Amino acid sequence: MKTLLQRVNSSLTSLRMNAMKYNLAKLINMSCTIPTLSSLQLKYNKLKTVGSDLFKLCVNVTELELTKSNIKVIDDNAFRSLRSLKILTLSSNKLMSVPAATRNLPALLELDLSNNNITSLQCHDFTNQTKLRQLNLYLNSIPDLKDCLFKDLTRLQVLKLQSSHIQLFFPIQNLKSLYISRASLHSLDIFIGANLTNLEFLQRLVPPVGKKDNYTQVFDAYNYTCNYPPVVEGTKLLDLDVRDCSVDTGFICFVSTTCTVLCFMIATFTYDFMRWQLVYAYYLFMAWLLDTKHKNKQAPHQYDAFISYNTHDEPWVIRELLPKLEGEQGWKLCLHHRDFEPGKPIIDNITDGIYGSRKTICVISRRYLDSEWCSREIQAASFRLFDEQKDVLILVFLEEIPTYLLSPYHRMRKLLKRQTYLSWPQAGEHTEVFWEKLRKALKNKEDPDEDRFHLNLLEAP
């Protein structure tokens, strides 16, 4: 065995020495000299007594199991060297009380003392166990749990007390799982005031007996009574209609899922078939508000024309349009980069520019159609056209755009049917006619009724 342990000295992590008959203490000491050993299992060994020297070399062991080893006495210093021990299993032995040696294990996370002869628990039994998360005490004759017992068990999450005779239960702050089946409970009064606010799992009081079907046989069930809520206080468990305590989650899921699907379908339908109508209604309302605001101001037009264009077409606007209209013809134009008020919201600048000008010239190209801001500008201009019933919009096409490219732009196609538009001449063609038509479009009266009025005066006898 010594030779074997020396050969695996650099790789052994887990060792089981169960039902050993000879030299167990020597084998434990040899094994614990292996620096990689972390798990040690010693089941079915006739130890009876665990002395202070048995594990003195096991400084690296983190998991120790001593199940069914006939242990009656454990020396107070038996585990002093196991400073890194995290899991200690002492189940199915003959211990009469909680060993004091467990108080010397500051890193302990799980302690199993189940199926022993423990008849009482003292306030100091779990002293210093501040990291303990799971405690197994089932199959012991423990009559009560004193409040002082849990003063250091601040991180305890799992407590197993099956088949115990419990009469009193005190608060455990972080307890998440509690096992109390076969605990000889006549009522649940022991949990009154326990304040188990973090409890997530409570094992059923009595496990089912018989076949796995829809019925459960509960032993002595007629003695269970309800104390809470007050409306059912004193009611026998078997007389309680459990349907009052349940929530039909299936129906709730059905209703919520149906509502979600319907909302999604309505939203999809609205987006596909009515989005332009909604946008139209929104902008119409905004145009009405803006028009009312501008009518109340009754301010004269500051510009002759607002120029709506895409930034990619700015060179044409600067080199061709601006010198011709402002330089030669003397019109006053409103342009983004020059006349917008700094720090003012861009949508306000757009609407003020459109309503502050006699007309709006839209310089349309393929990039113009893809621009969100250009779309908003032509929307605002068209709503002004609709609202005022005046010829305030001039469309200038810089390039030929096929009809199929205009089909997604419902507003643009409607404007083309109602408004006269200009096309910038192609390469090699003369531009004098284009500029003359644009000058006349800017010079024309905004109100067609006013033209008819003057015409009627001239034709009068």
For residues 106-134, give the mean pLDDT.
92
Residue 401 within a domain: yes
Rounded Cα gap, residues 208 and 216, in angstroms? 5
Tell whether pTM > 0.85: no
Q: What is the pLDDT of residue 456?
A: 29
**Confidence grade of residue 341 (pLDDT, cut at 50, 70, 90):** confident
Domain of 450, CATH number, reads 3.40.50.10140
Whether residue 307 lies inside any domain: the answer is yes
Q: Which of 236, 232, 258 is nearest to 244 (CA)?
A: 232
Asked if 164 contacts 140 with a C-beta cutoff of 8 angstroms, the reply is: yes
Q: What is the mean pLDDT of the chain?
A: 78
The Cα 138–Cα 161 span in angstroms is: 4
pLDDT of residue 206: 46
- 131, 152 in Cβ contact below 8 A? no
CA distance 32 to 29: 5
Look at 321 and 452; give whichever has higher pLDDT.
321
Residue 310 — very low, low, confident or very high, per pLDDT cuts 50/70/90? confident
Q: Is the pLDDT of residue 228 over 70?
A: no
Q: Give how many domains the chain has, as a whole number.
A: 1
- In-domain check, residue 398: yes
pLDDT of 369 > 90? The answer is no
458 pLDDT band, cuts 50/70/90, is: very low
Q: Is the pLDDT of residue 111 over 90?
A: yes
pLDDT top residue among 366 and 246? 366
pLDDT above 80 (res 184): no
The pLDDT assigned to 56 comes to 93
Quick one: pLDDT at residue 422? 85
Residue 325 has pLDDT above 60, yes or no: yes
Task: Label residue 236 by pLDDT band (50, 70, 90).
Answer: confident
- How do residues 414-444 score in pLDDT, each as one tens digit? 666 556 678 888 765 788 888 998 898 888 6
CA distances in angstroms from 74 to 20, 78, 403, listed in the order given: 19, 7, 95
Q: What is the mean pLDDT of residues 180-195?
A: 62
| Residue 61 vs residues 17, 20, 421: alpha-carbon distances, Å | 14, 20, 90
276 half-sphere exposure, CB direction, 13 A CA radius: 9
Q: Is residue 75 pLDDT above 60, yes or no? A: yes
Structural domain boundaries enclosing 439? 299-459
Q: Average the pLDDT over 12-28 and give the result.
A: 90
- Of 183-197, 243-257, 447-461, the range with the lowest mean pLDDT is 447-461
344: in domain = yes
Q: Is residue 447 one of the residues assigned to a domain?
A: yes
For the segment 6-10, the average pLDDT, to the nearest whole number, is 75
Span 122-143, average pLDDT? 89
Instruction: Report the C-alpha gap between 122 and 98 in whole angstroms.
Output: 9
Residue 452: predicted pLDDT: 32
Residue 363 has pLDDT above 80, yes or no: yes
Buried/exposed code over 216-227 (b: 16+ C-beta within 10 A; e: otherwise):
eeeeeeeebbbe
For the chain, what percent of residues have pLDDT higher than 90? 26
pLDDT in tens, 25-74: 999 988 998 889 999 999 999 999 999 999 999 999 999 999 999 999 99
Grouping H, G, I as helix, E, B as strand and the rest as coil, residue 360 is strand
* DSSP assignment string, 99-165: -GGGGG-TT--EEE--SS------TTTTTT-TT--EEE--SS------GGGGSS-TT--EEE-TT--
Any domain includes 405: yes
CA distance 193 to 169: 9
149 falls within a domain = no
How high is the pLDDT of residue 451? 37
Tell me, yes or no, whether 39 lies in a domain. no
pLDDT of residue 208: 42
Most confident of 125-129, 146-150, 293-297: 125-129
Is 222 or 417 the better-scoring residue by pLDDT? 222
At 251-308, the pLDDT tens digits run: 888 899 999 999 998 888 877 776 656 665 665 676 666 656 555 554 568 899 999 8
